[in-house]
């Protein structure tokens, strides 16, 4: 099975290094020196990683045969694709590969159906489930422990306990700025209510 593990960004310096947007939880395994990766577009690859290092919080890679800034810049926006055994599991017990989560049914703790995971969006702060509702609309659910309480691969479902307003906007708690200005005690409590990472 092929999985996208990174996207090449801009060239870095003049010796052929590139920045990469990592799309795997295991960059040391998938993006280490010697790794041979397929590419999209396919004509760009395959690419073999020669060196890798972290600079200012970003992963920099150099590929065999890419020796200058011009060659590195020509790789920009190329997707890097690793071949992964479909039965392979992440090292950590509570981690999952994207392909394990796609198509899972999303339900509330009481079994109420919310929808089906169609995509995983990897953001710097957290991952998001893109969930298609039965009516065709989409909702984004942060993949955090407080909201996604269980991933059951055998039952093919993800159990969530969403904060008010995440699934149904009509349930959202909205603090009135006018009440805050008057110092109304009741609204002070509402304004201080912690909200989910949405």
More confidently predicted of 36 and 88:
36
Long-range contacts formed by 28-34: CB under 8 A, 24+ apart? 30/5, 30/6, 30/82, 31/5, 31/6, 31/59, 31/61, 31/80
Predicted local distance difference test score (pLDDT) of residue 85: 65
Residue 179 reports pLDDT greater than 70: no
Comparison of pLDDT for 36 and 123, the residue scoring more: 36
Q: Which of 21-35, 62-76, 93-107, 163-177 holds the top average pLDDT?
A: 62-76
Read off the pTM: 0.50
The share of the chain scoring above pLDDT 70, in percent, equals 77
For residue 194, pLDDT over 70 is answered with no
The strand ranges marked E within the chain are 2-12, 17-22, 36-40, 47-55, 58-63, 79-83, 105-108, 113-122, 127-132, 138-142, 148-152, 157-160
Tokens of 29: 């395994």
pLDDT: which is higher, 181 or 161: 161
CB 68 within 8 A of CB 15: yes
* Other beta carbons less than 10 A from residue 44's beta carbon: 17
Please state, rounded to an integer, the average pLDDT across all residues of the chain. 80
Instruction: Please report the pLDDT score of residue 58 as a whole number.
Output: 84
Cβ(111)–Cβ(164) under 8 Å? Answer: no
Q: Does residue 182 carry a pLDDT above 50?
A: no
Residue 190 has pLDDT above 80, yes or no: no
């Amino acid at each position: 099975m092929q999985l996208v593990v990174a996207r090449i960004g801009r060239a870095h310096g003049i010796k052929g290094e590139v920045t990469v947007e990592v799309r795997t939880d295991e960059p040391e395994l998938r993006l280490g020196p010697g790794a041979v990766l397929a590419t999209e577009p396919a004509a760009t690859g395959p690419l073999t990683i020669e060196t890798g290092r972290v600079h200012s919080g970003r992963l920099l890679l150099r590929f065999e045969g890419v020796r200058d800034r011009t060659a590195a810049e020509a790789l920009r926006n190329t997707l890097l694709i690793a071949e992964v055994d479909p039965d392979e599991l992440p090292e950590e017990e509570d981690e999952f590969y994207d392909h394990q989560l796609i198509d899972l049914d999303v339900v509330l703790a009481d079994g109420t159906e919310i929808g089906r995971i169609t995509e995983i969006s990897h953001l710097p702060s957290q991952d998001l489930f893109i969930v298609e509702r039965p009516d065709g609309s989409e909702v984004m659910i942060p993949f955090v422990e407080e909201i996604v309480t269980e991933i059951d691969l055998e039952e093919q479902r993800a159990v969530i306990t969403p904060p008010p307003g995440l699934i149904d906007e009509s349930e959202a708690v909205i603090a009135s700025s006018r009440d805050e200005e008057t110092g109304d005690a009741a609204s002070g409590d509402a304004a201080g209510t912690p909200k989910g990472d949405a």
